[in-house]
Amino acid sequence: MYDRKTWAVLAVCGSLLAVGMYQSNQNAQAKARLERARLEALPPVPTAPGTTPADPSAAPVTPGLVVNVPPAPLEEELVTLATDKVLFTFSNIGGGIKFADFKTEFQVGKKSDLVRVNERGGGPIGGLAGADETLENLSYTYLEAESVPAQKVVYSAKLADGLLVKKSFSLVATGEPGAPYLLDFVLNFENATAGPLNLQKYSIYAGEAAPLYQAEMPDWTGMLWLENNSMNFTKASSFKGSMLSSETSIFNSPAGKKIQYAGVTNQFFATVIRPQDSLETTVWAKPSQIKLKDGALPIKAIRAGLHLPDSLLAATAKKDISYRIFLGPKNNPLLQSMGNSWGELMQYGWFWPVSVTLNRTLNFFHNCLDGIAKKWSWGLAIIFLTIVVRLVIWPLHAKSTRTMKRMSKLQPEMAKLKEKYAEDPGKLNTETMGLYRKYGINPLGGCLPMFIQIPIFFGFYKMLQYAVELRGQGFLWVPDLSQPDTCAVLAGVPINILPVVMAISSFFQIRMTPKTGDAMQQRIIMFMPFMFLFFCYNFASALALYWTTQNIFSIGQTWLMSRIPEPELKPRKDSGKKTWVQRMAEQQAAAQKKRQQGGSGSSSATESQKKRSPRTGG
């Protein structure tokens, strides 16, 4: 079916892709080695031979020399609150949540290590930051009399400007949607000074978000805030700048907006602070560099905070502000059940109706299959969902296949038209549309299923991208459907099986599709699977499983359609009505003809003007 030249082009392109992937991996490893060598080569702080560093507090004071003695480290005391899903650990330093451990979520490839939020956060969630977004280094008093064991934690402190602060963190009543991941957070302020104080100079720290593993896409980590039910997102990677923008150290949202909630997120988990009532305030974000346990190089993380409202507190006046804190997974059924726009945390974007529907259907299939094949239930649910989607669009696919077969039979006549009207594109379009009309063919009929599949594919992609349900769930040889199915590493290149199967199945699917274009178009189309292999090689195996399943289904569907007698190509009875495609082609031809006539007319006029004799006076 294909000549040697086509196969040679495909072989060369495949080889170039493999070499490119290998070189990219080698460059990354070389950079990692150089960075490690640079860090190891940094000299230690020099000290005199045979001595130890002196204690600054014991050093003699030289006249005229000011010695800054560092403050003694604060003594930290930790208390905890727990639900069946989360263990919240509080610290008196900053008076907030130092970190939170998810009891049922584990680190990538490490079933013994729980996922921990704000592990390297630089401060507690619920801590107060000053005007420069710097967290206070203040020891709060744990109010044991007001705290309730296993239910409520209360801290109090006096800030440097004389503002008295009391913080209360309470578990939410069991049975409320999302309760295991929620805390009620109340701030009580009292102005203990003789003058007014504005609360707006303080902000509530929302913690830090970072990728869970070294290979996680950096664009999935960032700061988000909701205003007027519209989600806004700032990526952690955006602070480093680009060709068109410079590097920045802080981001502030526009003033004068009512913020419904704000926080930080990575691919699967979020920390969000939500005012009891929408507040007209701003949010800020700062980038940070962290080093993961399994990573060799620092990666971008992000820290954020929510400013207190613009409220002037008179002397001796008091004010209470209530919030709700969410620390949990971006689980669509969970967030949808919580209402109040919590579902916007899924960040499905324009395709959210498709993504939400697919996610609900995926969970339905999982619940049905969980009792039958618990180990592989999520993988089977993806396969079942893919088959259902393909069955729904079967009529469109069948119509498309019939249209493409009929169009392929018109190729000889199309070639004659191209030869006859090679110098007149407008006439060629008109005659081509007339040929389609003669045989009752809609040229867009072959493309319709492709257009239908575009929102389905992107909706599927978004849904699987944030499907925290798939973390740690295996299928066949795949240990984790939320990760690439790497089975080995050769010469530094991960060997992922499913993307290769996906590309091969795509190749055979395209090969079985009726051909309607010229030879060059066919070569480009045949190359597409290998291009998708390059772009999707390190995607989550769940997406590759979906794509492979639909390719295999399409191959079977195309084979079945080939068993059906080919449609007979015969002129249909002319109804006298023109299709809108034909009308557009005729309008285009008429416009082109008018332009040509106008051009020739002006040319003739110019020539006649040149031939005229010059006028003489008299």
What pLDDT score does 338 carry? 92
Whether the per-residue pLDDT at 65 is higher than 50: the answer is no
Whether the per-residue pLDDT at 552 is higher than 80: the answer is yes
DSSP secondary structure, 368-397, as one string: HHTTT-TTTHHHHHHHHHHHHHHHHTHHHH
Residue limits of CATH 2.70.98 in the chain: 78-239+250-347
User: How big is the CA angle at 353 (ends 351 and 359), to the nearest 5 degrees?
Assistant: 100
* Fold type of domain 78-239+250-347: Beta-galactosidase; Chain A, domain 5 (2.70.98)
Residue 470 contacts by C-beta under 8 Å, 6 or more apart in sequence?
378, 464, 480, 481, 482, 540, 542
Q: Which span out of 35-49, 316-330, 465-479, 531-545 was modeled with the highest average pLDDT? A: 316-330
Whether the per-residue pLDDT at 592 is higher than 80: the answer is no
What pLDDT score does 15 carry? 56
Instruction: Report the interhelical angle of 4-41 vs 519-536 (nearest 10°).
Output: 30
| Tokens (6 digits) for 618 | 């008299």
123 three-class SS: coil
Q: Residues 7-60: pLDDT tens digits?
A: 454 555 555 555 555 555 555 454 445 444 444 444 443 433 433 444 444 444
What pLDDT score does 364 carry? 94
Contact 154, 147 (CB under 8 A): yes
Q: Residues 191-238: pLDDT tens digits?
A: 998 889 989 889 999 999 988 877 677 788 999 999 988 899 988 888
Q: Is 117 left (phi over 0), alpha (psi -120 to 50) or beta?
A: beta
Contact 432, 417 (CB under 8 A): yes
Higher pLDDT, 64 or 254: 254
What pLDDT score does 45 carry? 38
Name the one residue in this structure whose structure tokens are 């008109």. 430
User: How big is the CA angle at 495 (ends 212 and 376), to the nearest 5 degrees?
Assistant: 65
What pLDDT score does 1 carry? 46
Contact 238, 343 (CB under 8 A): no
Whether the per-residue pLDDT at 416 is higher than 50: the answer is yes
- Give the up-direction half-sphere exposure of residue 295: CA atoms within 13 A in the CB hemisphere: 16
What pLDDT score does 337 carry? 93
* Contacts for 537-540: CB closer than 8 Å, 24+ residues apart: 537/21, 537/484, 537/496, 537/499, 538/215, 538/484, 538/494, 538/496, 539/484, 539/499, 540/464, 540/465, 540/470, 540/481, 540/482, 540/483, 540/484
Cβ count within 10 A of residue 285: 27
Q: Residues 87-137: pLDDT tens digits?
A: 999 999 999 999 999 998 888 777 778 889 998 877 899 999 886 667 777
Cα 519 to the center of its chain, rounded Å = 37
Which residue(s) pair with 238 in the sheet? none
Q: Residues 382-414: pLDDT tens digits?
A: 999 999 988 888 887 777 777 777 777 777 777
What pLDDT score does 570 carry? 65
Whether the per-residue pLDDT at 263 is higher than 50: the answer is yes
Whether the per-residue pLDDT at 610 is higher than 70: the answer is no
Nearest Cα neighbor of 94 from 132, 134, 151 is 134
For the ranges 74-83, 347-356, 484-493, which has the lowest average pLDDT?
Answer: 484-493
Which residue(s) pair with 190 in the sheet? 164, 318
What pLDDT score does 613 carry? 47
